[in-house]
Chains A and B, each alone.
Chain A
Amino acid sequence: MAAGSLTMLPDFSISPRIDQVGVEERASRFTKRSIKKEAKMNGLLLVLNMIDLTTLEGKDTDGKVKQLCYKAMHPHDAVPGLPTVAAICVYPSMVKVAKKALGDSGIKVASVATAFPSGQAPRDVKIRDTKYAVNEGADEVDMVISRGKFHAGEYNFVFDEIAAIKEACGEARLKVILETGELGTFDKVRRASDIAMHAGADFIKTSTGKIQPAATMPVTLVMLEAIRDFYYKTGKMIGMKPAGGISKSKLALHYLVMVKEVLGEDWLNNEWFRFGASSLANDVLMQIVKEKTGVYQAANYFSVD
């Protein structure tokens, strides 16, 4: 749909070039911001509210997913008035369980799909995978791109596949995982971002969490800048989700600074920015409690699930 609405598609082989050293310098500048007092507390609450609480394991069970959903709704009841996380992120087989557990909490259910994490499956299988997740009740679909085809220069294949999955998503919002750790250069990250956005992605996402490196600030910056250029060109906002490797609140706050200074305040909410993480939530909670009590916290006082 989005693809069809654009009159002209860019030549993805000439996506803007990225200078790695410049990107890293810029990314490190965000880490120099000092976030104190109220700004810190507000930032932490915002981070908590942007988390896609994730479990993507072969050993996932109904029981595990239910516990995670409870944690999503009640991150830390000892502190009243905390926001919930943004979503629960699970495999398609767990969507129904999650959906039921979350009830009318407002928390979204995101499902990975399209032969996650490798994406090495035929297109019809991926479409069926997606439709299954959506039919089970997924509000959001996290797909992976075909990195092999991308490296082989078959950009049209990658584009068409994303467009097909987008169609299969129906009302569900589509997050496109680039798996930046497999792309090799920032130039390719930028190109993959452009392809995904033009093909209809609602979000672009760095990683599956299964490959190292996962999300980094420089790679996220490259994607945020791609989002900005797309917005300048089309007026359409695209969301961003760094995933994997962000487990500390301080780092998460640096990401917020980056979003704020690259894209501005419109993106500073969980409709347009998410953290894909499993252990970040508890670190954020510990920091929140520390800010409220002035006492450094210990992990044993915070439920793991």
Chain B
Amino acid sequence: MPVTKKKPVKKSNTIKLKFDTSWSYDPAPESKSAATIKPQYDLFINGEWQKPLSNKYFATINPANEEKLSEVAEANTADVDKAVKAARNAYEKYWKKMPARERAKYVFRIARMVQEKARELAIIETLDGGKPIRESRDFDVPTAANHFFYYAGWADKLEYAFPNRKAEALGVAGQIIPWNFPLLMAAWKIAPAISTGNTVVLKTAETTPLTALKLAEIIEEADLPPGVVNIITGAGETGAAIVNHPDINKIAFTGSTDVGKIIQRAVAGTHKKVTLELGGKAANIIFEDAPIDQAVEGVINGIYFNQGHVCCAGSRLYVQESVAKQVIRKLKDRIESLIVGDPLDKNTDIGAINSRSQLETIQKYLKIGKQEGAEMYESSCPLPKKGFWCRPTLFTNVAQSNRIAQEEIFGPVLSILTFRTDDEVIEKANNSPYGLSAGVWTDKGSKIFNMTRRMRAGVIWANTFNKFDPSSPFGGYKESGFGREGGLHGLLPYLSLKV
């Protein structure tokens, strides 16, 4: 009784692969029981959990079902001041005096503890931010641990990093992180800062505070001297209080270009050193001689990874006209096989949009795209009733002048444009105020080097996309910000070089 089916040969223009298959995967949710979330979190200042002087708390919700997960403290100016004082005191009293190799061991210890609690951190990251558990488990958490591990080793080797200069810590670093990679961004900020001998006041994003607070618990458990790392929660005003605090030597911010500009203005007249890691509208370029199937996969990872909430997302796809039809057809088939739904399900590819307001922004752009005359195509997948959701979407027939080709959408929305020649596509790719990342797909080596050299962006992925590593510097050209995070080059933003 072999099961066999006869299929008639179909005409080429009607051929479409079918994915609404009889053999579908059963739900495979990660168990929540491996994670502990307290009903309420205070501020982690000076090594202890302190009630906010504001006396205010706000809720953090699960964007996949809009249920409240916990509530966290809202730090006001006085709380920020307390945290900065703790950091200053820790800098003068402990951290500055401690031999670098001992400092290193603390950071190594944090790295190990993050690894030990990886599963719990991944679950909380997914609950709080809406990203698929597969990503938080396989990417966010391990990469965060690796970041601590990488920078720990630098602590006692700084004299080798800057020839003919003596590297000195700056003092107290104020750090403000975004909601798209909450734990990873905390690691990107804290690891290099404390390894180079600075102390830290870090503010989490309003919608995703929980994993950074878990990290605070780890730091507490790691027995770091009190005040070396202070983790506080709040919204924009808390961030502003950090930026404006007179006793902070360094501001490190990851977030939108608009806020980055506000920060740059706010620090005018001070000696605060600043690094900004801001928005992007990355061009991802496919030439006709590219390995097409891998390029298609790279485009998918480039724009649908983390619901497109990625500053370096490959949101502008440039396809050479001779292969455009083929690439678009493959992309359409591929997004049909993306699974959208419960972020805790191990099979989910695209989770929930991080917040209602972000969903509204994305929907605004979908509308704009249609009004501008681009053709919208979205996956046919069903969406859950509750929570914030957006189907993987692509626009074809997009013009360079369209807003969906110029502005950062920060969602699972791809704009597809076509080109004819190398020069044309370089000009179009660079035709943006941003310059964070770019991608190029071609099998021809000399063309790769021409393209990677001429594209004005801080990270260029050739025949790959959205790859990250602690040893690899990351950061933008132009309005995508300045300073680098990761690698040897990620040390300098936290040091001053003396002759």
Residues of A participating in the B interface, judged by any CB pair closer than 8 Å: 16-19, 21-23, 25-26, 32-40, 42-43, 46, 49, 83-84, 86, 106-108, 225, 228, 231-237, 256, 260-261, 263-266, 268-271
Flag if A266 contacts B7 (CB, 8 Å): yes
Q: Are A17 and B329 in contact (CB under 8 A)?
A: no
8 shortest A-B CB distances, which residue pairs? A22-B294, A265-B21, A34-B28, A264-B17, A34-B346, A19-B291, A17-B443, A19-B294
B: residues with CB less than 8 A from A are: 1-7, 9-12, 15, 17-28, 134, 138, 289-295, 297-298, 326, 329, 333, 337, 346-347, 443, 463-464
Inter-chain CA distance A228–B11, complex, in Å, is 14
Alpha-carbon distance between A237 and B19 when the two chains are bound, in angstroms: 16
Q: Contact partner of B21 among A16, A36, A260, A270, CB < 8 A?
A: A260
Known contacts A49-B2, A83-B1, A107-B2; A18 and B12 CB within 8 A of each other: no
Do the beta carbons of B19 and A234 come within 8 Å of each other? no
Chain B residues, CB < 8 A from A106: 1-2
B1 — which chain A residues lie within 8 A by C-beta? Answer: 83-84, 106
For A232, the chain B residues whose CB sits under 8 A away are 12, 15, 326, 329
With a CB–CB cut-off of 8 A, which chain B residues contact A266?
5, 7, 17-18
Given A232-B329, A236-B9, decide whether A26 and B25 contact each other with a Cβ distance below 8 A: no
* B298 proximity list for chain A (CB < 8 A): 22
- Which chain A positions have C-beta within 8 A of B12? 232-235
- Known A16-B291, A17-B289, A32-B346; contact A49-B23, beta-carbon cutoff 8 A: no
Q: Known A84-B2, A264-B18; judge A22-B9 contact (CB<8 A).
A: no
A225–B290 Cα distance when bound, in Å, is 15
CB of B294 within 8 A of CB of A235, answer no
Complex contacts, A26 vs chain B, CB 8 Å: 293-294, 297
Residues of chain B within 8 A (CB-CB) of A108 are: 2
CB contacts (< 8 Å) of B26 on chain A: these are 35-40
Most buried by A among B2, B27, B138: B2
Selected A-B contacts with CB under 8 Å, 27 pairs: A16-B293, A19-B463, A22-B291, A22-B464, A23-B293, A26-B293, A26-B294, A26-B297, A37-B26, A46-B3, A83-B2, A83-B3, A84-B2, A106-B1, A225-B293, A231-B15, A231-B17, A232-B15, A235-B11, A260-B19, A260-B21, A264-B18, A264-B333, A266-B7, A268-B22, A269-B3, A270-B3
CB neighbours (8 Å) of A228 from chain B are 17
Which of B21, B138, B443 touches A268 (beta carbons < 8 Å)? B21
Q: With contacts A17-B291, A32-B346, A232-B329 known, is A260 near B17, CB below 8 A?
A: no
**CA of A107 to CA of B11 in the docked complex: distance in angstroms?**
31
Q: A22-B298, A228-B17, A232-B15 are in contact. Are A34 and B293 (CB under 8 A)?
A: no
B462 CB → nearest A CB, Å: 10
Given contacts A19-B463, A231-B15, contact A265 B7 (CB under 8 A): no
Give the chain A neighbours of B15 by CB distance below 8 A: 231-232, 235
Q: Contact: B2 with A270, CB < 8 Å? A: yes
User: Which residues on the A side are within 8 Å of B329 (C-beta)?
Assistant: 232
User: Cβ of B3 and Cβ of A18 under 8 Å apart?
Assistant: no
| CB <8 Å contact, A32 and B23 | no
- With A19-B463, A232-B329, A235-B9 already in contact, the answer to whether A256 and B23 are too (CB < 8 A) is yes
The interface residues of chain A lying within 8 Å CB-to-CB of B138 are 32
Task: Please give the distance in Å from B136's CB to the nearest CB on chain A.
Answer: 13
Known: A19-B443, A21-B464, A38-B26. 8 other contacts (CB 8 A): A19-B294, A35-B26, A36-B25, A42-B23, A225-B293, A260-B19, A264-B333, A266-B7
**Which of A32, A35, A40, A264 lies in contact with B19, CB distance below 8 A?**
A264
CB neighbours (8 Å) of A38 from chain B are 26
Query: B2–A16 contact, CB under 8 A?
Result: no
Complexed CA–CA distance, A18 and B326 (Å): 16
- Please give me the residue from chain B that is nearest to A86 by CB atom: B2
Q: Name the distance in Å between A59's Cβ and chain B's nearest Cβ.
A: 28
Interchain CA distance A232-B22 in the complex, whole Å? 22
- Are the C-beta atoms of B18 and A33 separated by less than 8 Å? no
Q: Which residues of B contact A36 (CB under 8 A)?
A: 25-28
What residue in chain B is nearest A105 (Cβ atoms)?
B1
A235-B17 Cα distance, complex, nearest whole Å: 11
User: Given the complex of chains A and B, what is the CA–CA distance between A46 and B2 in angstroms?
Assistant: 10
Q: Which of A42, A108, A261 has the most CB of B within 10 A?
A: A261
Which of B7, B10, B326 lies at the interface centre, i.e. has the most chain A CB atoms within 10 A of its CB?
B7
Please give, as numbers and ranges, the residues of chain A lying within 8 Å of B443 by CB-CB distance. Answer: 17, 19
Residues of A with C-beta under 8 A to B326: 232
Residues of B within 8 A of A261 (CB): 19, 337
A16-B291, A35-B25 as given contacts; A265 in contact with B19, CB under 8 Å: yes
| Closest chain A residue, CB of each to CB of B134 | A32
Contacts of A42 in B (CB 8 A): 23
In the complex, the chain B residue whose C-beta lies closest to that of A224 is B293
Contact with B294, one of A23, A49, A234 (Cβ below 8 angstroms): A23
| Known contacts A33-B347, A261-B337, A264-B17; is-contact A270 B291 (Cβ 8 Å) | no
CA distance A16 to B291 in the complex (A): 6
Inside 8 A of A46's CB, which chain B residues have their CB? 3, 23
| Residues A34 and B347 in contact, CB atoms below 8 Å apart | yes
Residues on the A chain within 8 Å of B292, using CB? 16
Q: Nearest chain-B residue to A16 (Cβ)?
A: B292
- Within the complex, what minimum Cβ distance (angstroms) separates A70 from chain B? 16
Nearest Cβ on chain A to B326's Cβ, whole angstroms: 8
Tell me, rounded to whole Å, the shortest Cβ–Cβ distance linking B25 to chain A: 5
Whole-angstrom CA separation of A16 from B330 in the bound complex? 14
Q: Which residues of B contact A270 (CB under 8 A)?
A: 2-4
Instruction: Name the residue on B nearest A234 (C-beta).
Output: B12
Determine the residue in chain B with the shortest Cβ distance to A43: B23
Write out the residue numbers on chain B whose beta carbons fall within 8 Å of the beta carbon of A43: 23
Residue of A nearest to B441 (CB): A19
Q: Which residues of A contact B5 (CB under 8 A)?
A: 266, 269, 271
**Assuming the A-B contacts A18-B294, A37-B26, A236-B9, are A269 and B4 also in contact, with contact meaning beta carbons closer than 8 angstroms in the complex?**
yes
Contact B297 A22 (CB under 8 A): yes
Expressed in whole angstroms, the Cα–Cα distance for A108 and B4 within the complex equals 12
- Complex CA gap A38/B27 in Å reads 10
